[in-house]
Structure 1
Amino acid sequence: MFHSNLGSAKGYWTKQGNYYLVPDVAPNKDRLLTVNHGRLNGAQIEWRLVDPRRATPKQRALFWALMVDISNWNGYSAEDMHDYFEDRFIYLHEGHTVSLADGTESTVTDAKELIDDVIDYIFEFRVPVQKGYELLPRQEEHYQYQCLRHRMCVVCGQKADAHHIDEIGMGRNRNKLDHTKFHFMALCRVHHTEAHKIGPVEFGKKYHLDMRGIKLDKETLQKIGVKGHYDN
């Protein structure tokens, strides 16, 4: 895959149903030839859809609440952890900076990607979250994915099972289903039972959840113990 320095582009739909990107600054042809085996066309490009609004106070509050939680866990100051994650962002985004200070020029997308990295850190090292828990982005796919991957309830953080959002139907052998076609959410037994009792609409309203859930690939499903029949 072709990794260039970060640049911007505009996206357009065609009448034929195709979507294409036009970079604001054309890529260097010599660079393209080097990374794309001597060809100018067909290079794979990484891109992201940017929400151009400025980073929000809610994102700022969540980020700092998580910095305090991490600080309480590892003994470093919240300011030190702030610097650590901002430096990581610069490294991961090839020099692109991010700031959540008042008057920032950083976008909602910048802030989301910064917070996603913090969430990855919290799940990887099992950091206990207290101050930031109520602010966690339960509706966002990345957070729901990590909850499923680490089998932590999306509502309370306790040990969870993968809850099928889609109706499977009584009497079907789940071990013979291709579960990559279904949507999941990580729920502990208490919240799993409650979801069935009050229904998905009321459950979603109560806990501010997107009840569509997310799909998982075969490798993730097998890792979290969801047995099924999967194509090779």
Structure 2
Amino acid sequence: MKFNCEIDNIKTLKKGMKITLAINDKQTLEVMKNIYNFMDKPITVDLLIDEEKQIERMKQITPEQRKKIYGLLKDIATYTGDNKENIKEATKSSFIRATEYEDFSLSNCSKDLAGDYIEFLIRLCFEAGIPLKENPAEGLDNIESYLRICLEQKKCCVCGREGEEHHVDTIGMGRDRTKVDDSENRKMCLCREHHTEYHKIGRKNFEKKYYVYGVIYNN
């Protein structure tokens, strides 16, 4: 039996690996008619991959990015009382005017464009004081750029609430921070709650838990 499919997920196991395949609707019934004949039986699979198509697909928006975008649009819609579709069209238009991008679709736009649009939406939420339901850092490819936005907007990089600079590279006890050049010191922006947690569990555990870290930032 031969059928076209896409590799949906790959997971490394202790012994071997697990590959999940995605089959389109047109072939699902045909595959279902035959697949049960091979349950619990060894089979040989030939993976014939269209290299050019696969490379092009890897450049496109990821499911994680798409989920992140719609989550942010929902947060804006909840805050403003407008519906999500209106918010999407309005923010897309503003994003296009602010950048060199042309009109795009969230179904097949580029991965880079999606990343820039996510940063645009996060900055918009921070500037407008829109509360975010999920950790803003989750699902981001360019986490360093996001961490700098948080420092610029004085928003906690974990929850998006009002925050203040936290020095990852300590300046030292007894030194006047207003007179110390900290331009080469790593920093992150944290709210009081997450600042307290940082000191309670330590840098390594905090970074591992929230996937954030200090960056060099000069305001």
What TM-score do the two structures reach when normalised by structure 2?
A: 0.65
Residues 131-155 of structure 1: CA distance to partner in whole angstroms, max 9, x if unpaired?
6757464971232223223322222
Give the aligned CA root-mean-square deviation in angstroms. Answer: 2.4
* CA distance, structure 2, for counterparts of residue 139 and residue 206 of structure 1: 18
Gapped regions of structure 1 (runs ≥ 5)? 1-51, 221-232
5+ residue gaps in structure 2? Answer: 1-57
Residues in 2 aligned to 1:109 and 1:192: alpha-carbon distance in whole angstroms: 32
CA distance in 1, matches of 2:83, 2:93: 15
Shift of 1:159: 3.1
TM (norm. structure 1) is: 0.61
Q: Per-residue deviation at 1:174?
A: 1.8
Fraction of identical pairs, as percent: 35
Cross-structure match for 2:110? 107
Match of 1:64 in 2: 70
Contact 2:156 2:190 in 1 (8 A): yes
Does the 8 Å contact 1:152/1:158 carry over to 2?
yes
For 1:225, the equivalent position in structure 2 comes to: none
Tell me if structure 2 keeps the 8 A contact 1:62–1:132.
no
CA distance change for structure 1 residues 158 and 76 in 2, over 3 Å: closer, same or farther?
A: closer
1:64-103 to 2 correspondence within 5 Å? 64-94=70-100, 96-101=102-107
Deviation at 1:80, TM superposition (A): 1.0
Q: Indicate which of 134, 152, 158 corresponds to 1:155.
A: 158
In the TM superposition, residue 95 of structure 1 has moved relative to its aligned partner by 5.1
Structure 1 residues 108 and 72, CA gap change in structure 2 (3 angstroms): same
CA–CA separation in structure 2 for the residues paired with 1:160 and 1:99: 34
